[in-house]
Structure 1
Amino acid sequence: MGGMLALALPPGKGPHLVGCTDVMVGHTQQGLFLRLFYPCLPQAGAAQPLWIPRSEYCGGLADFALGRRWCSALISIAVGSCRVPVSWNGPLKPHSHGYPLVIFSHGLGAFRTLYSSVCTELASWGFVVAALEHRDHSAATTYFCTAEDGREEWIPFQQVPPGQKEFYFRNKQVHQRAEECVRALRLFTDIASGKSVPNLLCQDLDLSMLKDNIDLTKVVVMGHSFGGVTAVLALVKEPRFRCAVALDAWMFPLENVLYPEVPKPVLFINTEKFQTPEGVAKMKRLSSRNSQTKIITVLGTVHESQTDFAFLPGKLISLIFGARGTLNPHKALTITIQAVLAFLQRHLNLEEEFHQWDDLLEGVGDSVVPEAPFCRSNL
């Protein structure tokens, strides 16, 4: 493993240590698969989980990012042994009132672990974060285990079929993704009500530990890119989501008729290089209806700046995933998280000091601006 290429994901900067486990429920595609990040107690000799959990995901990334399967081995050599700085199956730190819950939706061609930096950071500030792996063929790859023999059925990434309009294909996907976010909330409701929820991955961690440790009156849905627009749609489908956070949302797949239906506030945190005027106009439609909806842009960032890829050094990664942002990725992550925490303080009525970062919600601060002044045109 060349030190030059090592991924150095940052540990959370909040007051809590972070634990992590994988959860799969149900034996069909209609079940759920997610990675759970949560505040945990110290544990001697705790293992750290792999960032890319299995080699199949390297193949999926190679296909999605490059359309070149041979790069799978290259990705595997570069990042295959990288680990996330969290405690695998670490013991949950109990909370007298329960932690707020974040359901997180990944972007196109991603999967449940590629936002570990954001999820770890949120967990370190006192949230339980459920990072879904979507089964709408938008993940680089994913799988479920059948009931008969526990065989793995893999669900590959799918391009828009020839002859099909992209909007209709993506719109169907975004509805499936939002439904998966709603099902994830139902899963945690079941756990909280004391129902036994078997985790097919047979981890050492019993999900019933969450029973009295999640506050289901404080639930938010969040995502990046395709996951950002998924979060907006989930607000329409599930009234128990109090608000949404959309990182560089790809607004294209959402049908226009739904915009008047979005009832709750959304925080849009955009990167400097990704948005189009059309996408921003859609965000502004929502902010014109709800004064609590905020749009800010982080300067010096590109679309991948809000993923773990921002922390990959080396020319190889620039080669695979395109240009890097000019803003230091640690600083970009700090700005993003502080803005999210200030927003959640406001809309989940948290008893924290996160309002100290309220200025960021108005686009005031180093490396942030209000709205999205620099979005590229569709030339």
Structure 2
Amino acid sequence: MQSSKFNLLFHFCYWLLWTSIGKLGEIKLAGLSVNAQKEMGSKSSTKCYGIPEGKGPYSVGCTDLMTDYTIQGSFFRLYYPSQNGTSSEETKWIPRKEYYRGLSDFLNIYRMLGETLFQHYVGSVTCPAKWNAAFKPGEKYPLIIFSHGLGAFRTIYSAICIEMASQGFIVAAVEHRDKSSSATYYHKENPVCEAQEEATENPNEEWIYYRKLKRGEQEFPLRHQQLQQRTEECIKALDLILGINNGNHVANVLSLNFDWTLLKESIDTDRIAVMGHSFGAATAIKTLSKDARFKGSVHQSFPDFTFLSGNFVGKIFKLKGDIDPNIAIDISNKASLAFLQKHLGLKKDFDQWDALVDGEGHNVIPGTNIDLPSTQPESLE
């Protein structure tokens, strides 16, 4: 069944590629294009696609941090309240072509075809956060460590992270190097500048791609091993950020123009949470059990792809649910904020959405819609 789905994806993308550059040359790929003017098969009015802006009172900035010239270093994207007017540069959603290759591998698409499609249709997508904007000091912000799902990477949940930052949180979206990401990388030594990285292959980079199960291989041992590493990466990111909060110097391998000293004494160390989606949610739970500093929170409606796909392709490839993705993410974000206020003791107005946490509200299911096993699951220890 899984193989059939991926084969369908390949043939459908192949057909779309050739029709879009052939006699239907003016038609954009409705499934991925942020410039799409109309959904395929729809006679409705023009509808554009894009990642939603944060709804909170804070402007949002964004930067990347990579430490150490080994695979053991930390790598995450930071979303944070920012100072207005300190950057006009939009944040690129998928920053490197190697991520297209990883996504292609994960989806079982030929790399050349996948890279062409992704580059053409989402290569220009940006996030509503200012790249390297100056951090806004003067307040104590709660901190969230965010863990992505299988086949994702640090930028794919920007809609959630940007909303949290716009509401006054600092969010570190970790990019896991346990081979559960579509793609990730680290610098082995002496990196070139980012501008050069975009133009040429960097021999000092080591890329790590998604590790698929081998024929006949049991999944649990692999996921168990990955879960242990992911947990350590979340804890390591927390240690790093708290060190920055204490005034420790941080050396960024990526040589980005961002002043980390502004974060000194800006973290509310009594209000730290870990969040995640899918396998990232399992990571969040495991991290909670390992580190008491985290106070806590925990399917395709959540990654950013849902905002960049029309109904036709979105339904076929299950990138969309039955409700509008903007409504779905808004419900999820409000419920998360209400949960965080309750468990972190925040003095905000997020308690206005407490009913969502209790399963009350339109499009909300109380309890769970998943059939839980009657026996206790095997321990992840």
Report the TM-score, using the length of structure 1 for normalisation.
0.80
Instruction: List aligned pairs for 1:304-315, cutoff 5 A.
Output: 304-314=300-310
- Equivalent residue number for residue 268 of structure 1: none
- Equivalent residue number for residue 56 of structure 2: 14
- Equivalent residue number for residue 58 of structure 1: 100
> For 2:64 and 2:121, how far apart are their aligned partners in 1?
23
Residue 122 of structure 2 aligns with an amino acid whose one-letter code is V
Cα drift, residue 217 of structure 1: 1.5
Which among 194, 218, 234 is matched to residue 287 of structure 2? 234
Cα drift, residue 324 of structure 1: 2.0
- Equivalent residue number for residue 86 of structure 1: 129
Residue 265 of structure 2 aligns with an amino acid whose one-letter code is D
- Equivalent residue number for residue 314 of structure 2: 318
Which among 6, 14, 36 is matched to residue 4 of structure 1? 36
132-141 or 160-169, larger mean C-alpha shift: 160-169
Which among 46, 50, 58 is matched to residue 88 of structure 2? 46
Q: 1:149 to 1:349 in 2, by over 3 A?
A: closer
**Matching of residue 33 in structure 1 with residue 33 in structure 2:** no
Give the percent of matched residue pairs that are identical in Structure 1 and Structure 2. Answer: 45
**Matching of residue 180 in structure 1 with residue 212 in structure 2:** no
Which among 149, 172, 176 is matched to residue 134 of structure 1? 176
SS of match in other structure, 2:329: helix
Which among 340, 355, 369 is matched to residue 359 of structure 1? 355
SS of match in other structure, 2:79: strand
Residues 278-320 of structure 1: per-residue CA shift (max 9 Å, x gap): xxxxxxxxxxxxxxxxxxxxxxxxx210111110133785388
- Equivalent residue number for residue 117 of structure 2: 74
Which among 99, 104, 110 is matched to residue 146 of structure 2? 104
Residue 184 of structure 2 aligns with an amino acid whose one-letter code is T
25-34 or 61-70, larger mean C-alpha shift: 61-70
Q: 1:213 to 1:223 in 2, by over 3 A?
A: same
Q: Say whether the 8 Å CA contact 2:306–2:319 is kept in structure 1.
A: no
Which among 275, 285, 304 is matched to residue 222 of structure 1? 275
Residue 349 of structure 1 aligns with an amino acid whose one-letter code is G
Instruction: List aligned pairs for 1:208-357, cutoff 5 A.
Output: 208-243=261-296, 245-246=297-298, 303-314=299-310, 317-318=313-314, 321-322=317-318, 324-357=320-353
Instruction: Report which of the two structures shows the higher radius of gyration computed on alpha carbons.
Output: 2
Cα drift, residue 351 of structure 1: 1.1
> For 2:191 and 2:129, how far apart are their aligned partners in 1?
32
Between Structure 1 and Structure 2, how many residues are aligned? 319
Q: Say whether the 8 Å CA contact 1:338–1:354 is kept in structure 2.
A: yes
Q: Say whether the 8 Å CA contact 2:271–2:344 is kept in structure 1.
A: yes
Q: 1:27 to 1:363 in 2, by over 3 A?
A: same
SS of match in other structure, 1:4: coil
Moved over 6 A (4+): none
SS of match in other structure, 2:223: helix
Q: 1:374 to 1:52 in 2, by over 3 A?
A: same
Q: Give the RMSD, CA atoms, in angstroms.
A: 2.0
Q: Any gaps of 5 or more consecutive residues in structure 1?
A: 247-302
Cα drift, residue 163 of structure 1: 4.0
> For 1:87 and 1:323, how far apart are their aligned partners in 2?
27
**Matching of residue 165 in structure 1 with residue 197 in structure 2:** no
**Matching of residue 369 in structure 1 with residue 361 in structure 2:** no
- Equivalent residue number for residue 21 of structure 2: none
Higher strand share: 1
SS of match in other structure, 2:80: strand
Q: 1:222 to 1:195 in 2, by over 3 A?
A: same
> For 2:108 and 2:271, how far apart are their aligned partners in 1?
40
